[in-house]
Amino acid sequence: MRNLLLTISFDGSNYHGWQVQENAITVQQTLQDAYERICGVRDNITGCSRTDSGVHANMYCCNIRTEKEIDCGKLTGALNAVLPDDIAVKSCAEVGYDFHARYDCKSKEYIYQIWNSENKHPFLYKYSLHHKYPLDEVFLSRCAKEFTGTHDFSAFCAAGSSVEDKVRTVSYAGLERDGDMVTFRVEADGFLYNMVRIMVGTLLGISCGKITESVGDIIESRDRERAGITAPPEGLFLNKIVY
Amino acid sequence: MRNLLLTISFDGSNYHGWQVQENAITVQQTLQDAYERICGVRDNITGCSRTDSGVHANMYCCNIRTEKEIDCGKLTGALNAVLPDDIAVKSCAEVGYDFHARYDCKSKEYIYQIWNSENKHPFLYKYSLHHKYPLDEVFLSRCAKEFTGTHDFSAFCAAGSSVEDKVRTVSYAGLERDGDMVTFRVEADGFLYNMVRIMVGTLLGISCGKITESVGDIIESRDRERAGITAPPEGLFLNKIVY
């Protein structure tokens, strides 16, 4: 039995997230269909994380335990030929049998793109949130710094999450500007459901004055009501996975 | 009677080009619908050029002759609010009554993006041609230079064009590389039907050795058969209009 680690990237615009669902096209299902077409077997593909509808990945990892003796380079090429244009396999490598794409993940980095201009950008609307009002990325980076450290992030977790332990360690959180594009970047050992999108909604709430509490106070409250709205999915990219 | 010059940009992926057609959604029709919704009248909108299905525009100009007394800034804002996300109005200005977006155009610049990598790019497939084989952009720029000057471009015009005079003056043609993205840029006083896409197909034909004639000889032949294939539309952007 072999274990293959696939590293992929995808434009999530046309998918209902990673995880297989009934009556909706997902990345996992599309990848499993392509794999089955090539290998003739339906091996399960285990992803590093769930992602929401419309969320993108510059880097996403998954593993496949299989009896199949296919060469890694050939599998990469064949998958890329069979997969739609919006999913790309970047690499395939053989890993130890025990490796698990989700459980063995040491940290993840997300980015969230905010198109900060009065003008619409007709090529970026699927890849960024359009925010017309001024954003002071230096001030907001100072606010975002309060996300770093080990905290109970209950205030930044969507209602309905079944996860009990809401303590996560954020190693980096900050914003950078490149012209009219402001990018929020956050790295942690794990993320709760909608955590990054609520972080972004909170920073935007602070920016426009709707939220007057500090990020630290909101974290401490563990109260979802005190954080900001859940920013829309299209600006969010899973950007890096560390094992 | 006023005459308004609108400068727009659009992602052409979802449109059957600029020009109104029966049974197909076009940019012109979408813009006229939005304008009618705001102004209550269906004034004709005259574009600077036809564009093909799937072709994009970083800059596109059109003019509207109207009795309507709407302020230019307000019209811009209202159109952007009503138009879909993939069409943006960049500006609106009042011009002389005789101004015509197509006839008064002195030159146009197109760019054609070629994603030159063995790897698929899941975010660029609608905005570039994926070319996996090596491209020597310095050599191809030398070939492209033969496009410059005043020539009969019959060899670079799609069959079925009703235009009689096929003489055009190309003021610039060349390629630049930025990492794995190679961009062909061409500026001329006018373009024939599919001219830029046939230029790109010819350069790619020369690159892979399928075409052994020089660009100059192909131009001189006036024979469409001797030029390359028509490159696909998704890499093409109307980039600049000069009046």
Domains of chain B and CATH, by start: 2-95 (3.30.70.580), 107-242 (3.30.70.660)
Q: For residue B160, what pLDDT band results from cuts at 50, 70 and 90? A: confident
Q: Residue A162: pLDDT above 90?
A: no
Query: Cβ distance A55 to A16 under 8 Å?
Result: no
Q: For residue A165, what pLDDT band results from cuts at 50, 70 and 90? A: very high
| Residue in B11, B43, B52, B85 annotated catalytic | B52
d(C-alpha B100, C-alpha B164), whole Å: 21
Residue B1 tokens read as 């009677």
Residue A124 tokens read as 């970026």
Q: Residue B221: pLDDT above 90?
A: yes
What's the confidence (pLDDT) of residue A163? 87
What's the confidence (pLDDT) of residue B9? 98
- Tell if the CB–CB gap between B85 and A125 is shorter than 8 Å: yes
Q: Which residues of chain A lie closer than 8 angstroms to B86, CB-CB?
A: 122, 125
Nearest to A207 by CA among A103, A137, A105: A137
- Which residues of B lie inside 8 Å of A (Cβ-Cβ)? 9-11, 56, 80, 85-90, 119-123, 125, 127
Q: Residue A161: pLDDT above 90?
A: no
Task: Considering only CA atoms, give the Rg of chain B.
Answer: 19
Residue B208 tokens read as 């892979």
Q: Which residues of chain A lie closer than 8 angstroms to B85, CB-CB?
A: 120, 122, 125
Enter the ipTM: 0.87
Q: Residue A159: pLDDT above 90?
A: no
Mean predicted lDDT score pLDDT of chain A: 96
What's the confidence (pLDDT) of residue B117? 96
- Tell if the CB–CB gap between B122 and A86 is shorter than 8 Å: yes
Distance from CA of B30 to the nearest CA of A (A): 14
What's the confidence (pLDDT) of residue A87? 98
Q: For residue B161, what pLDDT band results from cuts at 50, 70 and 90? A: confident
Mapped onto helix, strand or coil, the DSSP state of residue B37 is helix
Query: Cβ distance B216 to B85 under 8 Å?
Result: no
Q: For residue B195, what pLDDT band results from cuts at 50, 70 and 90? A: very high
Across residues A77-84, what is the average pLDDT? 97
Distance from CA of A238 to the nearest CA of B (A): 14
Across residues B208-221, what is the average pLDDT? 97
d(C-alpha A55, C-alpha A26), whole Å: 11
Distance from CA of A118 to the nearest CA of B (A): 10
pTM over 0.80, yes/no: yes
Residue A71 tokens read as 């060469």
